[in-house]
């Protein structure tokens, strides 16, 4: 408080005007080279009438004041606007370079420090320095502003406390994690007895490994993982091609995509024998189990009680709450995920992730590509043929077609490359079109499939050579195609 005026409302022009009235004209005009001369006296109370003249740099200006309570008068016939000049306007014009922000700072410094702190540090002309004490060099303000000094000392103490608290916190975390794993010599490493069979799924998933299955939306990720469930639980070949060594412990499936009814229907088609080995979390629309320390601890306890050693997460995008393109956020989350699953005793992780427009690249931060031991890619071509490949540490499976056998409800890896699959698919489509539309000309037949003109001509000729199609002459000597 100063003279009963509340400092919590100093931003208002009304109250700044009240503060400004308390500053003598001499303190406002004197420091900026105005010279005073008494020219008259008011008869009522003998108040002196003063002329304040500024004559510097070719500029001549005279201001007349009538005591400290009244506004001044600008005695300059070339002056535009009101001739009357309040103390607040004088401070703004002559001391603060017409800056309203600096005017407020100027007045508040005087109030908070009990005087004009600008002048105390020998800065007599505000218009030349254009800064408040907030913008002073810190060392100058520290010795001239007791309040700033107190704030600095308090913040300095807080920084020391935070630094010490951080150090103590790291010590606590280290104690909780236990001693770091010591180094081992090459001789001892080579002499250790290690299981020679390192595969859970031959050529695709190593023991204690992490795999990310990448595919675009609706490409069949969940279908493939449901098929993988049967292979892991019953020990049958995966995709009718890859040998499976049933992993120790049970298998968990964290379903965040399908409804519970859909999952029940899809799994029932697989005719899984060892039902008790598989446990589901159907979490579509439910809270994220990795959302907090408390929820993660609960999940750890549940995984341990169920004896789950292999976990499938469908999908990453549903459990990751951050910015998918931010490597720092993704890395932090993946490290937390690894730590959680390690505490729970999970050895193998298969996690579904989304691919970008290029089906051979994971969508989002590059950290997703760097993290797993292997990446499985699943994608469709323009004719909805499905292909599978895998790359990673000790993993290298060339691109090959995935076919679906509806009679056995099985996915099969045929191994046929994309070109061979495309040719076979186009051949079947063209033959089917000719059989259903007898007597069409070459141009119409070619429109039944996609590809280059030379590719379509080659398909027609091959169907003729194989004896599946014959050609008869039509109007204008055109070639018309018929299935045999």
How do residues 330-359 score in pLDDT, each as one tens digit? 999 999 999 999 999 999 999 999 987 777
Q: Give 7's pLDDT tier (boundaries 50, 70, 90).
A: very low
Residue environment code for 28-65, b if the CB has 16+ CB neighbours within 10 A, otherwise e: bbebbebebeeeeeeeeeebeebbbbbeeeeeebbbbb
End-to-end CA distance of the chain: 106
pLDDT digits (tens, 9 = 90+) for 173-183: 777 666 777 88
Bigger pLDDT: 50 vs 138? 50
DSSP, collapsed to helix, strand or coil, labels residue 108 as helix
- pLDDT of 46 > 50? The answer is yes
Q: Give Rg (Cα) of the chain.
A: 42
Q: Which of 306-320, 353-367, 430-444 has the lowest mean pLDDT?
A: 353-367
Bigger pLDDT: 379 vs 211? 211
Residue 295's Cβ-side half-sphere holds a number of Cα atoms within 13 Å equal to 10
**CA 465 to each of CA 93, 430, 457, 461, 478: distance values in angstroms, whole numbers, following the listed order:** 99, 14, 12, 6, 19
pLDDT digits (tens, 9 = 90+) for 230-250: 999 999 999 989 999 999 999
Q: Tell me the C-alpha distance between 381 and 440, whole Å.
A: 27
Q: Tell me the C-alpha distance between 415 and 99, whole Å.
A: 77
Count the residues in the chain.
Answer: 484
- The mean of the pLDDT values for the chain is 83
- pLDDT of 130 > 70? The answer is no
Cα-Cα-Cα-Cα dihedral sign, residues 399, 405, 408, 414 = negative
Q: Give 112's pLDDT tier (boundaries 50, 70, 90).
A: low
Q: Tell me the C-alpha distance between 331 and 390, whole Å.
A: 22
Q: Give 122's pLDDT tier (boundaries 50, 70, 90).
A: very low
- pLDDT given at position 42: 85
- pLDDT given at position 140: 61
Mean pLDDT, residues 51-79 taken together: 84
- pLDDT given at position 125: 44
């Amino acid at each position: 408080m100063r003279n009963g005026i509340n400092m919590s409302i100093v931003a208002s022009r009304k109250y700044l005007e009240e503060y400004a009235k308390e500053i003598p004209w001499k303190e406002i005009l004197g420091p900026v080279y105005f010279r005073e001369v008494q020219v008259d006296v008011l008869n009522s109370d003998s108040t002196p009438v003063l002329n304040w003249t500024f004559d510097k740099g070719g500029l001549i200006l005279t201001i007349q004041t009538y005591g400290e309570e009244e506004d001044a008068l600008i005695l300059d016939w070339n002056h535009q606007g009101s001739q009357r000049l309040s103390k607040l306007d004088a401070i703004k014009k002559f001391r603060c370079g017409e800056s309203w922000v600096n005017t407020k700072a100027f007045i508040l410094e005087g109030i908070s420090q009990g005087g004009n702190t600008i002048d105390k540090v020998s800065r007599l002309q505000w218009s030349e320095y254009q800064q408040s004490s907030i913008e002073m060099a810190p060392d100058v303000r520290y010795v001239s502003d007791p309040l700033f000094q107190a704030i600095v000392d308090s913040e300095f103490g807080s920084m020391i406390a935070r630094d010490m608290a951080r150090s103590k916190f790291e010590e606590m975390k280290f104690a909780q994690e236990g001693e770091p794993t010591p180094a081992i010599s090459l001789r001892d490493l080579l002499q250790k007895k290690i299981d020679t069979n390192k595969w859970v799924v031959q050529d695709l998933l190593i023991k204690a490994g992490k795999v990310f299955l990448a595919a675009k939306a609706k490409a069949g990720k969940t279908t493939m993982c449901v098929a993988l469930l049967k292979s892991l639980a019953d020990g049958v070949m995966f995709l009718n091609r890859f040998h499976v060594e049933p992993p120790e412990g049970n298998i968990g499936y964290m379903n965040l995509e399908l409804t519970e009814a859909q999952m029940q229907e899809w799994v029932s088609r697989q005719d899984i024998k060892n039902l008790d080995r598989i446990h589901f979390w159907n979490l579509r629309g439910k809270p994220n189990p990795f959302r907090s320390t408390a929820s993660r601890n609960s999940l750890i306890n549940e995984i341990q009680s169920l004896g789950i050693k292999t976990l499938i997460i469908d999908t990453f995008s549903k459990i990751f709450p951050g910015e998918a393109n931010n490597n720092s956020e993704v890395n932090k989350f993946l490290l937390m995920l690894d730590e959680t699953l390690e505490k729970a005793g999970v050895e193998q992780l298969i996690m579904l992730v989304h691919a970008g427009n290029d089906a051979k690249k994971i969508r989002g931060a590059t950290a997703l590509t760097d993290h797993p031991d292997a990446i499985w890619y699943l994608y469709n071509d323009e004719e909805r043929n499905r292909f599978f490949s895998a790359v990673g540490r000790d993993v290298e499976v060339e691109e090959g077609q995935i076919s679906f056998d509806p009679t056995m409800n099985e996915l099969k890896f045929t191994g046929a490359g994309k070109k061979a699959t495309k040719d076979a698919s186009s051949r079947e489509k063209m033959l089917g079109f000719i059989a259903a539309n007898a007597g069409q000309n070459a141009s119409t037949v070619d429109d039944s499939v996609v590809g280059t003109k030379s590719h379509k001509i080659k398909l027609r000729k091959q169907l003729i050579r194989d004896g599946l199609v014959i050609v008869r002459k039509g109007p204008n000597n055109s070639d018309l195609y018929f299935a045999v």
